[in-house]
Amino acid sequence: MAADSMEIDDALYSRQRYVLGDTAMQKMAQSHVFLSGVGGLGVEIAKNIILAGVKALTVHDTKQCTKWDLGINFFIHEDDITSQRNRAEATLHRIAELNPYVHVAASTVPLDETTDLSFLKQYQCVIVTEVSLLLQKKINDFCHTQQPPIKFISADVYGICSRLFCDFGDEFEVLDTTGEEPKEIFISNITQSNPGIVTCLENHPHRLETGQFLTFREVNGMTCLNGSTHQITVVSPYSFSIGDTSDMEPYLHGGIAVQVKTPKMFYFERLEKQITNPLCLIVDFSKPEAPLQIHVAMLALNHFEENFGRRPNIGCLQDAEEMLKIAMSVSETLESKPQVNGDIVKWLSRTAQGFLAPLAAAVGGVASQEVLKAVTGKFSPLQQWLYIDMLDIVTPLEKMGSEEFLPRGDMYDALRACIGDSLCQKLHDLNVFLVGCGAIGCEMLKNFALLGVGTGQDKGLVTITDPDLIEKSNLNRQFLFRPHHIQKPKSYTAAEATLNINPYLKIDSYINKVCPATENTYSDEFYTKQDVIVTALDNVEARRYIDSRCVANLRPLIDSGTMGTKGHTEVIVPHLTESYNSHRDPPEEEIPFCTLKSFPAAIEHTIQWARDKFESSFSHKPSLFNKFWQTYSSAEEVLQRIKSGESLEGCFHVIKTLSRRPRSWTQCVELARVKFEKYFSHKALQLLHSFPLDTRLKDGSLFWQSPKRPPFPVKFEFNDPLHYSFIVSAAKLFATVYCVPFTEQDLSEETILKIISAVKVPEFRPSNKVVQTDETARKPDHIPVSSEDERNAIFQLEKSILSNEALENDLQMKPISFEKDDDSNGHIDFITAASNLRANMYNIKPADRFKTKRIAGKIIPAIATATAAVSGLVALELIKVVGGYQADAYKNCFLNLAIPIMVFTETAEVRRTEIRNGISFTIWDRWTIYGKEDFTLLDFINAVREKYGIEPTMVVQGVKMLYVPVMPGHNKRLKLTMQKLVKPSADKKYVDLTVSFAPETDGEEDLPGPPVRYYFVQEDN
């Protein structure tokens, strides 16, 4: 049943909420959508928009399920064919169970040129697939003339080409074109001039665009700017102009400029008009003419179908010639009269009866996002055509006879018509390793199943691994999982679900991480058995590691990832392309220690501070406490050791924790109240004691000026919900770590008020502690303990022992692991309250619980549309890798469905590094030396010189330096055997070493070399 309530189920939708926002989510949950055609493309679109959470979807289809559908529609099964079910009815319950909040209905009534379209008035958006061009025009005209217009989308996949068209009416208003957070810019200067030039703080580029609007706050001096809005013109990456400021007061210091999101109007033309003068999104700037050429070819195909009542026959030259003639005449009807590309027309004609499921996944992802834009007004809509093709694959297919493409009566006929039987067989025989079974992983497995990857009779296997368990928030985009799978392993569940799509798939599933610790499982031998590795990961470190393993074992790798509506794909092919590690993104900027501790300027700083407080108080300190008492068996033993002058690491902090340990709920609440005073009052008073408001720097400028904000103490108010929330959440967490039980009654306002009213809050006493102001300084590892502290520790421990408060139970705590997705545990409640109290203290705009959860939990926003599009593009590249294509066929892609952009680029050609004398290598080269039992290091060096013509001057194994001539004693190593130097385990046949060579000129750095694989004994082969 669909819920009419506007409450958003955060446990399900949290990752998507961060992409769309609540307003768009609520609009979506009120929208009714109609989708005609439940083939391979229709089912992709249906899946994505049901996962997203529209209110209701009607799926319409008049066709019966056939064997052909098994290879293109992942929700049609063998029994649907034997029962001769209608496609919409067959898939209805399977798509409906993707999201219980969405009403899904099926319609099987005829939809043709004679149909009365008034039934469409109940829908906000209509999508048509597998519909004739004439009928598309009729439906589009009907939708366009309604008030308000019904948003119209048509999408088709024919063979190796796809088409998407959008018409959202004459005018379509978008409130947020990008979905990006409004930028906040710290100001360092504003000139009194016409125009006034605003300069940002150094090293902080504004990243604005001319024409955007900004509002100002906290400007000192030129105060009339505060609260005003200005359109800007970019002057440089660090400055922009805002109009006449010459009559304003002089600027003194401070100020923040905040980007203002302004609505934008988009204008659309009907399909009839756009056909003759199409506005196309260019996706490959090396072929800007391609969209128009495909546009003409696909129109010719539509006319062919209208003329002959069928699509061109597979490999029929006569049909191809006929379609070329039609294309010529179609081109004449277009305003720009584009040149017809005969090759595109020929290949479209040849493959038009076929269907590439991954192409449908790619265009289906984009089309689904357009549906969400249509019903929410969030993000910039597509204007108005998108063409994605797979024309890169045709060159080797030219040589194949037409029989390669003809149907064989199995589920792969649609695929075979596009790529030929030989390539189909290679896919069936493929060994592929998929790392990660999350959102992209689920989509990839669906693509593998439809392509028949790993289904060969004698060869072929899909190996998958993922250490994670399924959580409710996964169900919003990891479409192979259902509510009854929650808390089950992702990999096992995904494997089982994939077999429902294609029961002939051979699949091995594991629950290991792929990392150095699992190299016994994922050994060199394992990698060399794989034909290709596909990563579906969410972190850079794991990608770098797997990339290094693929390079070491000469395996192709296809990587991809998404963040919200953005996505990327990268193809890495041995000897042809660079690898993932060949380029490094700049590291994420860390917040300086002093900013976090004393000088926050943005809500991100206070959230990180609160997150660190959580980690320190409830995880790190309790863990150290337990570790200490596991090392020392009793308090008496520790007391004796300290008295005898021993220095026990960490004992001062442990004894302090023990002596202050709360032993009742009342003491947990008292501790929370004391912490409130320390964090949000005393801290401010201490800073203002160290740096009074009128403090000036050596150059005479104020210490407290932007971005430094002076703190002001927060006075505790029981009736303030934020103050109360901090006390309750902190007290609950203290009770948990100190193993103190509490009841519902304990949590009542009455009980808390009674406890708090009796608390004696310590008065503030200023200290002379030095406050760190250097932004480059790092957090100190150890704070030294004074002799007075040590004496105090002895006294406190003696007191605890005498009071019987150092017994076995007292020497244990329960560390808490941060968990962002369990709302009952109070973790995010504590962090939100602590962060916002600190924000109030520094006059920073607070953040709601939702935003705090995203930042504190480092949540990556995610949506099914981008995931589906990216995995479709990966599967298209997989076909090329399996076919052994040349370098220019491979394409990397970057996309952002919000704007929307999709950019295909050729892969980066592998760089060749020159050593000298014409000797060179690439990252894919590996030199090989075979030794024997008594082979010495000198023998190894000589063997490299004899085989490769250059003598190594340095030999390194991982981080261990085996031979560096300048190191003391290393020359003696030349006589040692390689066995003794490397110390291999009994089963290790070889070791990978790094060598470098003497520079041509003294004083220069050594020249790098490729890895050298040294075999301890000669291999039999």
- What are the catalytic residues? 594
Query: Residue type at 334?
Result: L
Supply the DSSP symbol for 1006: P
**Spatial CB neighbours of 293, under 8 Å, sequence gap ≥ 6:** 338, 339, 340, 341, 344
Cis preceding linkage at 205, omega within 30: no
Supply the DSSP symbol for 1004: S
At residue 846, the 3 state secondary structure works out as coil
Give just the sign of the alpha carbon dihedral 761, 766, 767, 770.
positive
At residue 120, the 3 state secondary structure works out as helix
What distance in Å separates the CA atoms of residue 218 and residue 134, rounded to the nearest whole number?
Answer: 60
Structure tokens at 946: 């004899």
Task: Evaluate whether 663 touches 740 at the Cβ level (below 8 Å).
Answer: yes
What distance in Å separates the CA atoms of residue 786 and residue 227, rounded to the nearest whole number?
Answer: 51
Task: Evaluate whether 582 touches 911 at the Cβ level (below 8 Å).
Answer: yes
Cis preceding linkage at 381, omega within 30: no
What distance in Å separates the CA atoms of residue 494 and residue 479, rounded to the nearest whole number?
Answer: 9
Task: Evaluate whether 255 touches 187 at the Cβ level (below 8 Å).
Answer: yes
Structure tokens at 584: 């490094």
Give just the sign of the alpha carbon dihedral 192, 197, 203, 206.
positive
In the block, residue with structure tokens 């109070």 = 826
User: Which among 280, 350, 373 has a CA at the least distance from the CA of 54?
Assistant: 373
User: Which among 501, 347, 387, 488 has a CA at the least distance from the CA of 154?
Assistant: 387
What is the Cα gyration radius of the chain?
33
Task: Evaluate whether 150 touches 121 at the Cβ level (below 8 Å).
Answer: yes
Task: Evaluate whether 955 touches 966 at the Cβ level (below 8 Å).
Answer: no
Supply the DSSP symbol for 834: H
Tally Cβ neighbours within 10 Å of residue 839: 22
Query: Residue type at 187?
Result: I
What distance in Å separates the CA atoms of residue 497 and residue 479, rounded to the nearest whole number?
Answer: 10
DSSP letter string, 872-909: HHHHHHHHHHHTT--GGG-EEEEEETTTTEEEEEEPPB
User: Which among 687, 707, 859, 842 has a CA at the least distance from the CA of 772?
Assistant: 687
In the chain, what is the greatest distance between 2 CA atoms, to the nearest angstrom? 102
- C-alpha distances out from residue 257 to 214, 227, 645, 879, Å: 6, 10, 59, 49
- Helix 827-841 / helix 603-615 crossing angle, nearest 10 deg: 130
Structure tokens at 868: 């589906």
User: Which among 57, 56, 54, 58 has a CA at the least distance from the CA of 26?
Assistant: 54
User: Which among 222, 230, 208, 288 has a CA at the least distance from the CA of 255?
Assistant: 222
**Spatial CB neighbours of 348, under 8 Å, sequence gap ≥ 6:** 158, 159, 160, 161, 294, 297, 298, 300, 301, 323
- C-alpha distances out from residue 392 to 258, 313, 449, 751, 886, Å: 45, 22, 23, 72, 10
User: Which among 933, 952, 931, 949 has a CA at the least distance from the CA of 941?
Assistant: 952
In the block, residue with structure tokens 């509510």 = 483
